[in-house]
Amino acid sequence: MTIRTIRLIVVDDDPLVRAGLALMLGGADDIEIVGEAADGAAVPALVDRLAPDVVLMDIRMPGVDGLTATERLRARPAAPDVIVLTTFHADEQVLRALRAGAAGFVLKDTPPAQIVDAVRKVAAGDPVLSPAVTRQLMTHVAAAAPPCPAPPPGTRPGATAPPPGSRRSPNGSARSPSPSARAAPTPRSPPPST
C-alpha cells in the first residue's frame, strides 16, 4: 500500500519556529515540507510553484499577516487548505481565520504529535481546532445565541408532541387516539407453506 505524501508549506516569521516545525513535521513519513516563508506576501508565489496540499500559517508576521494571507489564498481557485498556527487565540482572530476559509486553528503550545495529526486530518478534509479554541468558540456562540423559548404552558420540559389524533388526559399526558382516529388493523397474510 502506497502512503500518500502530504505536501506542506510552513509560514512563520521566526526562523527558530520554522526550524522546529520542519524538524517535527519532517520526521513524519507521510509529510514533506516543500517550502517555507517568513511573510504572508510570499505565500501566493510559493503555492503556485510548489502546489502544496496544506499551508501551516502563523498569524502575526511583518508585512502581510497570516489572516490576510489566508483570506487571499483561500479566495483563489484550487487553493490548498490552511491551518493557522499561533500563540494568540482572541475571538476575532479565530472567527476571521474561519471566515477566511482556514481548515484549522492550532495553538503553538499544542503537543508536536497533535500538530502532525492536525496536518494529516486537514489534508484528509477534516477541520481541526485546538481544544482551547473549541471551548472559546462554544462560549462565544452560546453568548451570541438567543435564549431558547419557554415551553408552552401545561407541557413538561422534554415532553414530545402527542401523535396526531390523540387527546390529552387531565394530567397533560397523551392518551390513545380516539376510536375514529385509530387505523384499521392490517390483514395478515398466511405464512408460506414449505
- Please give the chain's pLDDT, 194 residues, in tens: 567 899 999 999 999 999 999 999 988 999 999 999 999 999 999 999 999 999 999 999 989 999 999 999 999 999 999 999 988 766 778 888 888 999 999 998 899 999 999 999 999 999 998 877 767 667 666 677 677 776 677 766 665 655 566 555 555 555 555 555 555 555 565 666 65
Entry pTM: 0.70
CA distance 66 to 41: 9
- Alpha-carbon distance of 93 to 68, in angstroms, equals 11
N- to C-terminal Cα distance for the chain? 50
